[in-house]
Structure formats: C-alpha cells, structure tokens
Amino acid sequence: MGGRGEMRLIISDLERDERRRLFPQPLAETIWLEEEGPIHHCLGCFGCWVKTPGVCVIRDQYGDMGEMLSKCTEVIIISHCCYGGFSPFVKNVLDRSISYLHPYFTIRNGRMHHRRRYKNHFHLQVWFYGEDITVKEKETAEKLVKANAINMDASDYSVAFVRHIAEMEGRIR
C-alpha cells in the first residue's frame, strides 16, 4: 500500500497476539475489523437499502461497512475455515456489508448481480487457516470467495489456505 488514496481493510478473526505476530508494525492506511465484543447479526431488513441507504440501521462499529468498503483498494480477510466457509464473526461482518451494493440489478458476465453503490474497485485477498481443512472444504471455500468477489464486483481476488497462522508471516502483501 502506501500510494495516495489507497486504503486496506482487514477483516480478521485472529486473536490480538496472533495479529501482532503477523503484523508487528502498525500498518498505515489500514482499517482493522476484528472481534471486539458482540456483533449484531444482520436482520435481513434491507434498511440499508430503503430506510438509510448505504448505512446499516444497526448502529454499532459495523454499521458503516459499505462506506468502509468504498474507501478500499484492497480487502484482506483472514478466517478460520469452517466447513468451507468463513468463521461466524467474519460471516457476520460480510453480511453487514450489503450496504456496499444497491438493491438494483445489472448484468455482469451474463448473470444478474446487484449494482455497486460506489465507484471504487478493490482486490480481495482471503486467507483461510485450519489444521484439518479437507479438499472438499477448500473447493467450497474457493467457490464462495469467487462468488463474493463477483457479487462485490472486486477487481480480482485470491484465496490461500494454511494450516497454521505462522505460515502467513511475510506472505500477506
């Protein structure tokens, strides 16, 4: 990062000491979202589309996910792999990000998707960790990240799997 106007968003379920191990120095122009107490689940009310466009009606630290995503050129997700998906915390954060999109539709690559609310495009980088991730779980996770990247209209994406968090050291750009 470091270029003017570039912002990185990191969504992580790491414990604080694990995060410090991966990122011993503070990262400039980075928004960190990590589990710091309870997160309210998305209500599925679509209030972020209808009542308060672009902003979640649940006003907590995750209520401005759409705006946070709108400022990013890169989104990094670090998550324990749970049955080929994200950990509950990461999944909740992503659910609360629907305000990044409009309720209106557009056709991309021959398929219908929601239109982006903002003009930015970001690179999506996902790291799954876990000691016993099966081949089937990896396949499922790869399909999930691809679908998320398409739905969020990411410029590109990457998926990586590691057994232990230490394997990520020096590999996250």
pLDDT tens per residue, range 57-79: 888 878 888 889 999 999 999 99
Helices H, strands E: what count in the chain? 4, 7
Lowest mean pLDDT among 35-49, 91-105, 109-123, 159-173: 35-49
Look at residue 143 and give its three-state secondary structure: helix
Q: Which fold has domain 8-35+43-167?
A: Rossmann fold (3.40.50)
pLDDT value of position 137: 98
Handedness of CA 155, 73, 125, 67 (dihedral sign): negative
For residues 140 and 84, the answer to whether their CB atoms sit within 8 Å is yes
Residue boundaries of the structural domains of the chain: 8-35+43-167
Burial class of residue 102 in the structure, from the number of CB atoms within 10 Å of its CB (0-12 exposed, 13-18 middle, 19+ buried): middle
Angstrom distance (rounded) from CA 159 to CA 157: 7
Tell me the average pLDDT across 129-143.
Answer: 97
pLDDT value of position 125: 97
Angstrom distance (rounded) from CA 94 to CA 11: 9
Tell me the average pLDDT of the chain. 89
- For residue 11, the cross-strand partners are 33, 77
Tell me the average pLDDT across 1-16.
Answer: 78
